[in-house]
Structure 1
Amino acid sequence: MIDLHSHILPGIDDGAKTLDESLAMARIAVDDGIHTMACTPHIYPGMYMNDGPGIAQACARLQAELDQRDITLKLVVGADVHLVPGLIDGLKSGQVPTLHGSRYFLLEPSHTTPPPQLEASVFHLITEGYTPIITHPERLSWVESHYPVFLRLIEQGAWMQVTAGALTGVFGKRARYWGERFIGEGHTHLLATDAHSTGRRLPRLTEGLAVARRLVGDQEASRLVNERPAAVLDNLPPQDFGLTPMEAVRPSVISTWFSRRRASL
């Protein structure tokens, strides 16, 4: 499997604090069946002042440590990026890294407030040739009142990434419901760990993937962690790896699942 969202680089954001923690996270990921992981620390002006060259250097240093210890995890460069002025210039210059140098990059909206002009901003990014991957929409406090906005972003050409831990209840009932809904209704392109540590937010995909399989079947679940992440790293056209229409995937099961979850909130 391929994990395109992690905070495994030590000491540069709110993820791994030390090299030993990064190594332990890498071992957990490999044991879980993850063979490639994107190092995607936060880039958030005023809080996490990371940039493309610095992330690339940190990624290379950690890769050397993994290779020295025969930990068979391949690292690639990326970032968890906020929607701020100058983002397109940063992407073009390389100060804000895309995923493995591709057209795809992780875009993290504010957790508490809908970004002003979100749809217009995402459309502008797409017209500039980029494919924003909206991270963990299921965990945003405003998802319930803005669910149709995310569907319109998908229509524009944005991708959605759900966190595996949300599907197993790590972030509570509400995030679990919305994570299941994004996947079950066919509005999710990628499943990722968003791993920060070896504790609650550890780098495991398998438990969340099992939930996705129950919702959309083996083939579409595989696309969430294999085919589409590989397409991202190979910089293949997004339209060639679109979403599977969910009306073809056990609609009665999905409807029953959501009704039960919604009632428990």
Structure 2
Amino acid sequence: MPDKGLFDIHCHIVPSVDDGASSAEEAYKMLQMEYRQGVRNIIATPHYRLQMFETPIETVEHQFLVLKQLARKVAPDLHVYLGCEFHSNMEMVEMLRSGEVHTMAGSRYVLTEFSGSTKASYIRERLYSLLSHGYKPIVAHIERYECMRKDIGFVEEMADLGALMQVNADSIIGKDGFGTKRYCKKLMKQDLLSFVGSDCHGTKERISRIGEAYDYVSKKEGDSYANQLFIRNPQKIIADAQRRKVR
């Protein structure tokens, strides 16, 4: 697959910190798979979830340095950044401010996860809290949440509030069923999506299909829209991070 300079903003590729890459060897193979998919920029997003994934930030940062070294071995133009998939809780803002949990590549963007059955009122409350404190929440794999699947008007409401929506590549191309694929198509038609991520966890199951998803979106919605989801919008995350470093 040719180099398109694609981004993957959601993947579990940092070795030995969550339920993703189990070793440096597996992380290396995952990086190779991403590269073959046309990905050149990766925001690694290890899980943080209370009482489930609470790997100390020092360990995450050390393992991310291992990942950076592996990326250099794959190709000099493969860039990796550190983020987090942050499962929502009532202390999110405090944890972000203290640096206990990473934002996306050091930007104001926060990849925010909920449970599938989470009520709309709780999602609204948590997203509003992040927005009111200057963060830019990206709602991870919105196709998984019952309240968003059943009521696209709620998705519109959250988007109008300022939240950004991400779906998984597998969902876009139909690997998670026809109903999910149709839902993603509806989101695209209503211009409610901002990002597509692989959410890859390994080399055999839940693999990266970013390039395949890009080709599908490009065919159905045009190159410009595909570039918006897979390149231009992710570039805004990196640009925001760079502005924060300059301050």
The two structures have a TM-score, normalised by structure 1, of: 0.83
* Structure 1 residue 116, shift from structure 2 partner: 4.4
1:144 corresponding residue in structure 2: 149
2:3 corresponding residue in structure 1: none
Query: How do residues 64-83 of structure 1 correspond to structure 2 at under 5 angstroms?
Result: 64-68=69-73, 70=75, 72-83=77-88
Q: Deviations over 1:66-100 (max 9, x none)?
A: 32455642110100011102100011111111011
Q: 3-state DSSP class of the match of 1:35?
A: strand
- Residue 106 of structure 1 contacts residue 134 of structure 1 at CA under 8 Å; is this kept in 2? yes
Question: Structure 1 residue runs of 4+, over 4 Å off?
Answer: 68-72
Q: 3-state DSSP class of the match of 2:118?
A: coil
* Structure 1 residue 135, shift from structure 2 partner: 0.8
Q: Single out whichever of 198-207 and 137-146 deviates more from structure 2.
A: 137-146
Query: How do residues 173-188 of structure 1 correspond to structure 2 at under 5 angstroms?
Result: 173-188=178-193
* Structure 1 residue 141, shift from structure 2 partner: 3.7
Give, in whole Å, the separation in 1 of the partners of 2:140 and 2:167. Answer: 7
Distance 1:215 1:66, change over 3 A: closer
The number of equivalent residue pairs is 236
The two structures have a TM-score, normalised by structure 2, of: 0.89
Give, in whole Å, the separation in 2 of the partners of 1:196 and 1:154. Answer: 28
- Of residues 99, 116, 130, the one that matches 2:135 is 130
Distance 1:181 1:167, change over 3 A: same
Give, in whole Å, the separation in 1 of the partners of 2:42 and 2:74. Answer: 17
Percent sequence identity is 25
Q: Deviations over 1:48-67 (max 9, x none)?
A: 00354432221111212332
Higher RCO, Cα 8 Å, sep 6+ = 2
* Structure 1 residue 117, shift from structure 2 partner: 2.5
2:108 corresponding residue in structure 1: 103
1:155 corresponding residue in structure 2: 160
Q: 3-state DSSP class of the match of 2:160?
A: helix
Where do 5+ consecutive residues of structure 2 fail to align? 1-5, 242-247
